[in-house]
Structure 1
Amino acid sequence: MTDLKERLRAEALASGFAGMGVCRPDAIPEAAARLAGFVAEGRHGQMRWMAERMNWRGNPAALWPEAKSVVMLAEPYTPDEDPLANLERPEVGTISVYARNRDYHDLVKKRLKRVGRWFLEEARRDDPSAAHAIKVFVDTAPVMEKPLAAAAGLGWQGKHTNLLSRDLGNWVFLGAIFTTVALPPDAPGADHCGSCRACLDICPTDAFPAPYQLDARRCISHLTIEHDGPVDTALRPMLGNRIYGCDDCLAVCPWNKFAVAASEARYAARDDLVAPDLAELATLDDTAFRARFSGSPIKRIGRDRFVRNVLYAIGNSGSARLRPVADALARDADPTVSDAARWALGRLP
């Protein structure tokens, strides 16, 4: 199967992926143990689905017992501009790089399906008597993509817990092809973080209790995307103008000097999402929100949670110009939005 694997690698690279590796479905027992501890300590925050499907997440072999190999693929979304540039511009919002254009779930999955279909045809051609099958996953199924990618040799999980590669940096989306074809596994990736602490030290909310550990309850990405309801008042000032996600720990990684340019044009930032005006975003009603973020991953958090985030940014702006915006939302029908507006008013001149 070595020849088939190398043909698959060539096809994947030609299709826009920047890296490929293979591991066994049972290759991540240590990750399963870490996940159990993470959930037991409550560090998963409001991501209840992590606890509900922990058995599948920690044991890919249980998710699909017939699978013999997991093919992990990495697709770069490396930004063209400094992702942290807007943090010093308090009247505009900062949106995580991955969410500044089309939803990567759709784009990566379509590419995965194309490569997967090609692979299946090749496998059946090589062995017509075998009834081989595949399943593809991109971030929405109970699959631990980062540990699997590390086990497949694509890199390692850095101190910020994200996948990191000497060849690709850390601006990558991951996709998985589970298959009944037994492919030769790759050697797992080795850790090259060394003594570097850049990702840990830059975190605005101290969300890393220790290297290689994350407390999602303090992570800005979790707070602005997954967390429903009001954010702890002690954490709100630390959000700055980050209104969807956070890139700080990714952006400072020294290994990004080797980051591969994104090949997908639809990952390039939309002009209206590079430095969006907070005053404009705060006025969005549900219809306008859905229209503006059609096809964007931002759409899934809904208008109320998004405007809540915008109001926290307005409260952190120190701008008297934005006071009327917050005042207009202090009586919003959503209690979390009105709470955020009143909090903002209490901080503005």
Structure 2
Amino acid sequence: MSPSRDIATPSAAASTLDQQGLASLAMQIRVWARELGFAHVGITDIDLSHAEAGLQQWLDDGCHGDMDYMAAHGMKRARPAELVPGTVRVISARMNYLPSDTDLAQWRKREMARADMPGEAVVSIYARGRDYHKVVRNRLQQLADRITQAIGPFGYRAFTDSAPVLEVELAQKAGLGWRGKHTLLLSRDAGSLFFLGEIFVDVPLPVDGDDSDDRHDGHEDGSGHDGVHPNTGMDRGEHCGQCRRCLDVCPTGAITEAFRVDARLCVSYLTIEHKGAIPEPLRARMGNRIYGCDDCQLYCPWNKFAQPSPLPDFAPRNKLDSASLVELFAWTETEFMDRLAGSPIRRIGHERWLRNLAVGLGNALRETPDADARLPMRDALLARRDHPSALVREHVEWALAQEGVPV
């Protein structure tokens, strides 16, 4: 459940604060947010009517794949007051997730290099530490608690990638950045490596204008960030110019055009949201990416400005920034559940974890010229050949068949 207090009935705070009081509260919210580890906060109204046509087209085209919940909620995503009756404003916040000890001069080169090392297991940066849903939601709740202490009970509900919310559109309207061609939010001062979260409130706070110039920014799987965000009709990539690196480097061609992602092709979707067999034509293109994909962010020039998080929660656990495919494929289901307690990865389950790793191992067998280096990969796959899951067995057999296939 998202943190909340009844918002359907207007709170006393919603009607008793004057304009000066509201402005003072908005300023104080920004101070509290910084103290809680958020890099930037903005406030927006709830009019997302501009986004409805693009969202509907994206759904009609089937770009959401198996994510039936995307279609089930329909236009609620673009209508905050239908999702949470009584909402008049949205507090939009972003939280950086690069680990605090990141070498800002070298991290992108290191990540790019690992993707070119077939035997390495590449996990998306955001998923290597503690589950961001818990971290961001907890901090949003603390922010709501501070507001309550200041003005008394008010109506609110907090979200982070956990409800039918157009997070990027709201963040853009709140002045946190602009939508890049890869559909993620971009900031001139922080790139795109940050999480987004929102507090829907019934208090008519003064709003920050839609600000693709990032003027208010003193410093995001995006979700969205295991997330895939549709093109919702507000193509605000002014600061992307003619650059199309994200489109060109996407390993599966999931960014089918600027501002549009087809989830059915996206490695993040295939490794996280998709429950069945990974389509064979896409397996070779996935390389050694076993949970999520950062390529469109790694090659985005704006991410030379990405900033580390002040929180320890996003530091890598279980060597997920350096482990090999063979190491992770050896985890039993018990080890998987125990080691990944508190991790966003745990929710895909051991079966899909092995499916993803089998694809990575198959690609590594095909791309590793040294026969001795291939031996532990082959042995790891053979050890799972009789796995109880038909899904795992299918991907193991495919993987074993890749040895000797021309690169």
* Partner SS state of residue 21, structure 1: strand
What is the match of residue 17 of structure 1?
38
What is the match of residue 74 of structure 1?
94
Aligned equivalents of 2:151, 2:51: Cα separation in 1 = 30
Confirm or deny that 1:99 pairs with 2:127.
yes
Aligned equivalents of 1:335, 1:100: Cα separation in 2 = 28
What is the match of residue 332 of structure 1?
387
Aligned equivalents of 1:274, 1:209: Cα separation in 2 = 29
Aligned equivalents of 1:239, 1:140: Cα separation in 2 = 26
Report the count of equivalent residues. 342
Confirm or deny that 1:55 pairs with 2:75.
yes
TM-score under structure 2 normalisation? 0.82
Q: Letter of the aligned partner of 1:44 in structure 2?
A: H
Match for residue 220 of structure 1 among 267, 277, 281: 267
Q: Letter of the aligned partner of 2:34 in structure 1?
A: L
What is the match of residue 8 of structure 1?
29
Q: Deviations over 1:235-277 (max 9, x none)?
A: 0000000000000001111112222221111112225111212
Confirm or deny that 1:84 pairs with 2:104.
no
| Alpha-carbon distance, 1:122 to partner | 1.7
User: Is the Cα contact below 8 Å between 1:25 and 1:70 reproduced in 2?
Assistant: yes
Q: Letter of the aligned partner of 1:134 in structure 2?
A: Y
User: Is the Cα contact below 8 Å between 1:134 and 1:180 reproduced in 2?
Assistant: yes
Aligned equivalents of 1:133, 1:218: Cα separation in 2 = 40
Q: Letter of the aligned partner of 1:304 in structure 2?
A: E
Identity %: 41
Aligned equivalents of 2:85, 2:30: Cα separation in 1 = 24
Confirm or deny that 1:145 pairs with 2:185.
no
Aligned equivalents of 1:101, 1:295: Cα separation in 2 = 8
Q: Deviations over 1:41-76 (max 9, x none)?
A: 000011111001123212111111211110000000
User: Is the Cα contact below 8 Å between 1:123 and 1:181 reproduced in 2?
Assistant: no
Aligned equivalents of 1:203, 1:173: Cα separation in 2 = 21
What is the match of residue 363 of structure 2?
316
* Partner SS state of residue 199, structure 2: strand
Give ranges in structure 2 of 5+ residues lacking alignment: 1-21, 213-237, 366-373
Confirm or deny that 1:258 pairs with 2:305.
yes
Q: Letter of the aligned partner of 1:119 in structure 2?
A: I
Moved more, 315-324 or 339-348: 315-324
Aligned equivalents of 1:87, 1:276: Cα separation in 2 = 12
What is the match of residue 246 of structure 2?
199
User: Is the Cα contact below 8 Å between 1:320 and 1:348 reproduced in 2?
Assistant: no
CA RMSD in angstroms comes to 1.3
* Partner SS state of residue 91, structure 1: coil
Confirm or deny that 1:113 pairs with 2:141.
yes
What is the match of residue 63 of structure 2?
43
Q: Letter of the aligned partner of 2:26 in structure 1?
A: K
Flag the 1:316–1:337 CA change in 2: closer, same or farther, 3 A.
same
What is the match of residue 233 of structure 2?
none
Aligned equivalents of 2:138, 2:276: Cα separation in 1 = 34
Aligned equivalents of 2:276, 2:377: Cα separation in 1 = 23
User: Is the Cα contact below 8 Å between 1:18 and 1:260 reproduced in 2?
Assistant: no
Q: Letter of the aligned partner of 1:340 in structure 2?
A: H
Match for residue 158 of structure 2 among 121, 128, 136: 136
Aligned equivalents of 2:154, 2:321: Cα separation in 1 = 44
Confirm or deny that 1:292 pairs with 2:292.
no
What is the match of residue 183 of structure 2?
161
Moved more, 115-124 or 42-51: 115-124
What is the match of residue 354 of structure 2?
307
Confirm or deny that 1:344 pairs with 2:399.
yes
* Partner SS state of residue 197, structure 2: strand
User: Is the Cα contact below 8 Å between 2:247 and 2:256 reproduced in 1?
Assistant: no
Q: Letter of the aligned partner of 2:258 in structure 1?
A: P
Alignment of 1:240-279 (within 5 A): 240-270=287-317, 272-279=319-326
Give the 4+ runs in structure 1 shifted more than 3 A.
Answer: none
User: Is the Cα contact below 8 Å between 1:108 and 1:138 reproduced in 2?
Assistant: yes
Aligned equivalents of 1:30, 1:284: Cα separation in 2 = 47
User: Is the Cα contact below 8 Å between 2:93 and 2:197 reproduced in 1?
Assistant: yes
TM-score under structure 1 normalisation? 0.95
* Partner SS state of residue 71, structure 1: strand
